[in-house]
Amino acid sequence: MDTLKSHQLSMTVLMTPDMANFSGKVHGGAILKLLDQVAYACGSRYAGKYVVTLSVDQVMFRQAINVGELVTFLASVNHTGISSMEIGIKVVAEDIRKQSVRHANSCFFTMVAVDDDGRPTPVPALEPGTPDEVRRFAAARLRRELREEMEQRHAALLGTKAHAVD
């Protein structure tokens, strides 16, 4: 059995021909769908509640993924608010025949835990323990602050009020 902590998740999927785009590579939309599923699984397992996607940030398609490759999604809850969580996901593609592995994609999802009526509900506070977790926690906090500042500036330009997540 895997020894991942409750705030981490690993999922591996074989890329099949039905996922290909017109150039024969795996369609970015297929990867985005899998990323959303991984973010949901990681966030809901950590929170013990149903979670919904609030935002997807910094999706970086670094390299194309080929049909026939094994793709592993490495997810981690990086930061928690009151009801929200940042889930960081690293995508690693493995060419089985060449026995090579490469970092193909990274992104950040903000997931919100909701109750049975669809209202935000509290999640457990994340307490980073390892140096990597402390680094991810600090980076996630900075991304959150920058996102909130951008939302406030955008709202000011539109003459509306910015909405806070937590």
Q: What is the pLDDT of residues 91-143, one digit of tens each?
A: 999 999 999 999 999 999 999 999 999 999 999 999 998 999 999 988 988 88
pLDDT higher than 70, residue 4: no
Token reading at 31:
């990867």
The residue ranges of every structural domain in the chain are 8-124
pLDDT in tens, 10-56: 999 999 999 999 998 999 999 999 999 999 999 999 999 999 999 99
- The Cα 166–Cα 155 span in angstroms is 17
* Contacts (Cβ under 8 Å, ≥6 apart) of 12: 70, 71, 72, 73
CATH topology of domain 8-124: Thiol Ester Dehydrase; Chain A (3.10.129)
3-state secondary structure labels for all residues of 105-155: EEEEEEEEEECCCCCECCCCCCCCCCHHHHHHHHHHHHHHHHHHHHHHHHH
